[in-house]
Amino acid sequence: MKSAINGAELRVYSSGQGPPLLLHGGPGIGDSTAPIAELLDSRFRFDQRGCGESSLTPPYDVPTLMADIEALRVQQGAEGWIVAGHSWGADVALAYTLAHPQRVTALIHLSGTGVQNDRGWKEAYQRGLAEGREIQHDLGPVNVEAKGDYLQSRREWIRSPDLLRRLAECPVPTLFVVGGGDIRPGWPNAQIAALMPSGRFEVVEGAGHPLCDTHGHELQAMLLDFLNATE
C-alpha cells in the first residue's frame, strides 16, 4: 500500500506479527529485506523516499528519514516499537533510535557500517570488492541522486559534536550483528556496542553481508535470544 508521509508517497509493506519495523539497505534502492523480514516475522517495511516504489520526493537526508519513520509510527498507532535494519538501514535505525530513544524498545543493527568515515575501513572494503569476495545480488534500479544525497547527509550526521555522548547515554537494548565473511570490517559496530550501556555484539561466522543467505538459522537464533532477553 501507499501511505502519505510528510509530503511523500511511501510504499509500505505490512505482513508479519513480530517486531514492527525493518529498514532496508542501499541507499537509493527499494526494499530488499524480505529474507530477514521472514526470520523476524517483521510487521512493517517501507521503501524510503526516492527508493523503490516510493515517490521521488526530496529532500533525501537523515533528518527527513527520521521524520518519515516517526510519522509512520504515529500513523500505525504504535506507542513504541522494536526497530531493525540491514546495512544502510541498520545505520538509519541507529540514527532514529538516538533521535527518539523513548519510542524504541529495542534495536537490531545488522551489517551496518558504524559511525565512522575511516580510510582503513574503506581500503579493506575496496580490497574485498576487487578480490571478488562480495556476494552479488540484483537489488533493482538505483536512484543515484537519492544515494548521493543520503550518503552525504549521513557523513554530516556522524560529525555531530554530541554523537558519541548520545550513544554512551542511550538506554535502548541494542544487538549488533556482522558476518564474519563480510568484506566490511565489523570493528566499528563492536566499538558502538561497547560504548552503549545495553549494547551487544555478535558475529555470524562464515556469513557474508546479507547474513541470512547461508546462515539463516544462526542469525535467527541470535535474534530470538536477544528479543527474549529484552521482554
pLDDT at 185: 97
pLDDT of 216 reads 92
- Whole-number pLDDT of residue 195: 98
Query: Residue 25: which pLDDT band, with cuts at 50, 70 and 90?
Result: very high
Mean pLDDT over 210-214 rounds to 89
Distance CA 164, CA 187 (A): 16
Rounded to two decimals, the pTM is: 0.96
Instruction: Give Rg (Cα) of the chain.
Output: 16
Place of cell 505490512: 14
Q: Give 38-96 pLDDT, tens digit per residue.
A: 888 888 999 999 999 999 999 999 999 999 999 999 998 999 999 999 999 999 999 99
Residue 214 is predicted with a pLDDT of: 86
Averaged confidence pLDDT in the chain: 94
Confidence of residue 18 (pLDDT cuts 50, 70, 90): confident
Domains of the chain, start order: 2-135+142-230 (3.40.50.1820)
Phi then psi dihedrals of residue 113, to 5 deg: -100, -10
| pLDDT value, residue 140 | 80
Which whole number is the average pLDDT over 220-224?
Answer: 94
C-alpha cell at 216: 539463516
Count the Cβ atoms, other than its own, within 10 Å of residue 156.
Answer: 11
Give the rounded percent of residues in the chain with a pLDDT score beyond 70.
100
> DSSP string of the chain?
-EEEETTEEEEEEE--SSSSEEE--SSSS----HHHHHHHT-SEEEPPTTSTTS---S--SHHHHHHHHHHHHHHHT-SSEEEEEETHHHHHHHHHHHH-GGGEEEEEEES---S---HHHHHHHHHHHHTT-SPP-------HHHHHHHHHHHHHHTT-TTHHHHHHH--S-EEEEEETT-SS--HHHHHHHHHSTTEEEEEETT--TTSHHHHHHHHHHHHHHHHHHH-
